[in-house]
Every structure is written in structure tokens, then in C-alpha cells.
Structure 1
């Protein structure tokens, strides 16, 4: 058991949750986020606003990502090595939206985590697993683009088998990163307004070694993927700018350079919006133990990370003309022209790399 001093007495804190603010009560279990509404943390309007937003993420994220998977099953033309990775990203996003966003929506609507301590651990694990797969998939997409367009390995061809291997890697590493709290290295508890669950950033109890787990996640699940994305896309931009300069008279090359530059900026910004709040908040808490903070703001990083289930497919899938064309066909709309222009655009971009 953890403990807290209150008016000269020791108040026992349960293992399943932690509320990092002073409370005027001798028995903190009476305020358990698994038993009673957490109205002492925020007003009802805040909880209901969060519930509405999580409902939006659940509905839209589930629809877009499920449609991505369905289109890939339906159309063989989508089963390229890059699209395998995008589908892997969609599956991870689907996991986050169906499990993480749905449970958060129900809990925010009830103003406490209604599913209980065991479900909290399961939700925290599944959402973290999906988030880690999504995060590493973004790095793999950048790595694949670097190999195909910049050709650092000469005539090496990135084949579907390589893409499948990269997808397996994302799940294996995500499992390694998300499983430890289930076995005592950190723990999964309600976070922020206590209506969604994640790793314990708050406590410094040596029993769980939370600080070391937070640093592990920061280094290997944020810093390394971010460095990979920045390096690969920087090299990609340099290669495209050199090709555009050498082929200044080619309108198609100039257009490809502008389109890819715009996409790179959007991709990097999407990654930062998704993960910087979470990583920054965790590091701040670890390095400022005992400092008070508003739990309403502590919920923001979790909200941003779950929102990636929507804006990741928008960036990586809906802005992919081939995917968009097939989605429009599946929904009974026309999209043949987009598909043709997509094929031409991909050909132009793939030719700008060095031979």
C-alpha cells in the first residue's frame, strides 16, 4: 500500500488508483474512480464535453479505419508494400478507437470509470499497445519512403515480405513496451479525470519503478521513432529538392516536390500533435514530484493520443489518392480519375531518387 500523511495521520492509498491532489477526507477509497463520480475533480459539463469528444473519436475513428481495412480486402490493387503498413496503422488505430475511445466515452458520461479495476488494466494495456503500434508504424512509413525514393541501399527493392516483417516488428516491440505494467514494472491506473486508463506517471513508489518505465517509453517509444521520422523525411526532402533543381523544366517533378513537401510537413506535425503532449506531461510529472497540477489539463495528453485514431488515417490514407479512390467506389461514388492520377504521381515521385 501507498500512504499519505494527513493531519498527522497516515491515510492508506489503494493499489488501483491515485489522485494526485490534496483531499479533505480520511478515507480516500470513498472517492474511488471505480465507485463514485469524480465531481471533486471537475464540473459535470467538463465530463460531458469529454464524453462527446470521445464519442466523436470512437465513431469517426472506427469508421475510417474499418473502411481502410475493408478496402484493402476488397481491392487487390491496394495490397502493395506501403499499403500493408498503412493497413497495419489502421488496425492499431481501430484498436485504440474501439477499446480506448469507447470506454473513455462511457466513463466520461458516467463521470467515473464504470468498468472496474480489471477493465482499467485491460483498457490501459490495449490502448497503449495500439498507440505504440501506431507510433512505430509512422516511423516505418517514413523508413519505407526513404528506402524507396532516396535509394540508400542502391538497387535494393522493398518487397511485400519486407513490409510484412516491419508490421510484425511494430507489434512485437509494442507488446514489449506495453506489457511490463501488467507484471509489476509500473502499473495501469485511471489517469487525468480518472475516466481513462494508462501507465502510472504520477507516483514514485519504488515497488513499481515508474520513473524508469517512463524513461524507457520516452527513449524507445517516442525519441527513437521521432528521430527516425525526422531523419528519413529530411533526407527525402533533400533528394526531391535536388531532383527538382536538376529537372527545373519538368512541371511534373516540380509538382511532385511540392506535394511531398506539403505531405511531410503535415505528417511530422501530426506526429508531434499526437505524442508531444503525452511525452511532455509524463516527463514533467516525473521531474516535478509533489508539484500540484490540474487534472483537467492532465487529461489532455490522453485525449490527443486517442485522437490519432482519426487524424492518422486522414493524413496517411485519405490523402492517398489510390486509397481514396477505392473508398469512394466502395461507398458508391466515382473515383477512377483520382486513381489514374495517383499512379502517375507515384511514378513521378519514385523516379526522382538516385539510380
Structure 2
């Protein structure tokens, strides 16, 4: 069965055609997708309800998290059901148009996620390394750069527009979308590793992987250096921010990025392998697991919010206990620019 899957050509798994995999294997994948989809939808809806209930959490920084929740809901609400239905059917059941829409939306939400995570890293850098109180340690001087709500909105819009561009390119002819080796889901047609696919893959990896990772590394490296400098100078108490909250948000952001890389690295490896090697030599299990791993990025973010952020944890716990807003303490200290509620 695996050997057959390795040797299928582009035309061997047509839309709605018979898959090289058994129905039992398809059912296992469908069960995973249904379970993951329910968890992802319910948990991300809880996150959105949390922001809706507690206006103290509707800050410029957390608005990025709200957008990330929408990307997760998009994949879980559209991608999971279509893929699960096709697996239960044994092959892709939504035709050519459905394949293009499904694959484009999955790439769109994936690219938007990494763009938004980059915005989170920039926010952490500006909030901690270039705060309103000054660029030096414990010095009261004018900041070199001051973020505003408009600045955050422009960065978020840029992340979404970047995702629109890269997800639409295969539809207009730069690379293409097609069923994967299972025949029950659609993605970048990496089995057709022509010049168009290779150039598209290299461009996507450069713009949506290498550049964001470089920005994130620069931002979080400087955050680490700045925190150590603050601690060495013993001046954290003089900073008019909830420093523990800033550390919570920073740790949460780093964990989200690490988990995003864990989820998307197998898929990136498949695309690189297909670009520089023979797609037919890619192991069938890897071809199946890679997109499933990528989809898993939709349901672990809410878990990270609860584990790494005390404010989110208090808010979600209070909401699940049906407590009123007045009974749940969110903020304890004055807020920085990035912490100011969007409604103000």
C-alpha cells in the first residue's frame, strides 16, 4: 500500500478518484480531524468570548491574539470539515473548485498566523526594549518610537494582505493546488516539482519563514538582553508597568512561536524535499502527517494562553464559573500603551 502511494503520479489520484490508502486509514484521519476540529472551535470560541466579556483584555497587544484566534477558527471551521468528509468518503469529494478553495484557505490562514506571530514579536520588542519611559534602563526620556492603535492596525492588516497574496498565487498560475497522495485533501501540488513550484516554494519560505524567524529572533534576543539589564540595575520596581504581566505575555508569545514552528516544520520539509529531490521518494507517512501536523496549530494556542498567561487564566476560569466581571480581577497596575483598552 505504501509503495503504491509513493509511486502515484499527478493524474493517479483525480478529483473524486480512488485513493491509494485504505478506508480504515481514512477513517482514522477523519476521527482525528473531527476531534481536533471540535477542540479547536470550542476552545477558540471560548477565547473570543473571554475578550468579549472582559474589556480589560481588549488591548492593542491582545487584539493580535484575537486575530490569531480567527485564523484558528477559519481552519477548524472550514478546512477540518471538508477534509474529514473527504476522508470518510475515501477521496476528495468537492471537485476542482472545492480543492482550490480549501487549499487556498488553509495556506491563507497559515500565512496569516506566522505574520501575526511576527507582529507579536515586534510588539514585545517595542513594549519592553523601547517603552514609553525611555530607551535606556530606568531613564526618564522620550521614547524613540511610540506605538499607537493605528500602528498596530497597520501591522495586522499587512499580515492579512501578505497571506492573501501568497494563498492566491497558485490559483492564478504560480504553482498550483491539487489533491495530496491520500487523495482526500488538497494542498500545494508538490508532486509536480517544476520551475513554477520551486520558485513559489523558495519565495514562500524566504518571505514567510526566513524573514519572520529573523525578525522574531532579533526581537526576542533584544527582549532577553533588556530584561537582564533591568534586573542587573535593580530598577524593575520603578517601571510603571505590570512587569510580571509583560513577562507572561512574552513567555506566551515565545511558546506560541515555538509550537507554530513544530507544527509547520514537517510541511516545510516536504516542500523542500519536493523542490530539490524526487517527490516520489517522500515517505507516504510523512506526506500524510505533515499537513496534519500543520493543522494541529489551530488548537494548542488556547492551551498556551491558559498555561502561560495569568490574566487569561483568571479570565477564562471566571467565565467558566459564570462569575461577573466585577468579581474577576484582571489588571493590578497601570497599563502601558500596548495594554490600553481599545475602547478608550
Rounded Cα–Cα distance in structure 1 between residues aligned with 2:93 and 2:6: 21
Q: Which runs of 5+ in 2 are unaligned?
A: 136-141, 340-344
Query: Structure 1 residue 49 and structure 2 residue 28: aligned?
Result: yes
Query: Structure 1 residue 140 and structure 2 residue 119: aligned?
Result: yes
1:269, CA displacement in angstroms?
2.1
Alignment of 1:146-165 (within 5 A): 146-151=125-130, 154=143, 156-165=145-154
Q: Which residue of 1 aligns with 2:232?
A: 245
Conserved? CA contact 1:214–1:283, under 8 Å:
yes
What's the secondary structure of 2:94's corresponding residue?
Answer: coil
- Alignment length, in residue pairs? 322
What's the secondary structure of 2:178's corresponding residue?
Answer: strand
If the length of structure 2 is used for normalisation, what is the TM-score?
0.82
Q: Which residue of 1 aligns with 2:211?
A: 224
Quickly say closer, same or farther: Cα 1:290–1:115, change in 2 above 3 A: closer
What's the secondary structure of 1:179's corresponding residue?
Answer: helix
Conserved? CA contact 2:249–2:308, under 8 Å:
no
1:70, CA displacement in angstroms?
3.1
Match of 2:50 among 55, 62, 71: 71
Query: Structure 1 residue 307 and structure 2 residue 296: aligned?
Result: yes
Q: Which residue of 1 aligns with 2:41?
A: 62
1:115, CA displacement in angstroms?
1.5
Match of 2:186 among 187, 194, 197: 197
Rounded Cα–Cα distance in structure 2 between residues aligned with 1:332 and 1:191: 44
Rounded Cα–Cα distance in structure 2 between residues aligned with 1:339 and 1:249: 26
Conserved? CA contact 2:23–2:90, under 8 Å:
yes
Q: Which residue of 2 aligns with 1:112?
A: 91
By relative contact order (CA 8 Å, sep 6+), the higher-ranking structure is 2
Query: Structure 1 residue 270 and structure 2 residue 249: aligned?
Result: no
Rounded Cα–Cα distance in structure 1 between residues aligned with 2:280 and 2:14: 22
Conserved? CA contact 1:48–1:108, under 8 Å:
yes
Deviations 1:300-336 (A, max 9, x none): 2211111111112332466433333333344344497
Rounded Cα–Cα distance in structure 1 between residues aligned with 2:165 and 2:312: 31
Rounded Cα–Cα distance in structure 2 between residues aligned with 1:309 and 1:338: 31
Q: Which residue of 2 aligns with 1:13?
A: none
Query: Structure 1 residue 34 and structure 2 residue 15: aligned?
Result: yes
Rounded Cα–Cα distance in structure 2 between residues aligned with 1:299 and 1:337: 48
Rounded Cα–Cα distance in structure 1 between residues aligned with 2:218 and 2:192: 35
Conserved? CA contact 1:189–1:199, under 8 Å:
yes
Conserved? CA contact 2:31–2:84, under 8 Å:
yes
Quickly say closer, same or farther: Cα 1:259–1:91, change in 2 above 3 A: closer
Q: CA RMSD in A?
A: 3.3
Conserved? CA contact 1:51–1:105, under 8 Å:
yes
Conserved? CA contact 1:148–1:157, under 8 Å:
no
Alignment of 1:259-338 (within 5 A): 262-263=251-252, 266-289=255-278, 291-316=280-305, 319-334=308-323
Q: Which residue of 2 aligns with 1:4?
A: none
Q: Which residue of 2 aligns with 1:168?
A: 157
If the length of structure 1 is used for normalisation, what is the TM-score?
0.79
Q: Which runs of 5+ in 1 are unaligned?
A: 1-18, 351-355
1:114, CA displacement in angstroms?
1.5
Rounded Cα–Cα distance in structure 2 between residues aligned with 1:200 and 1:157: 44
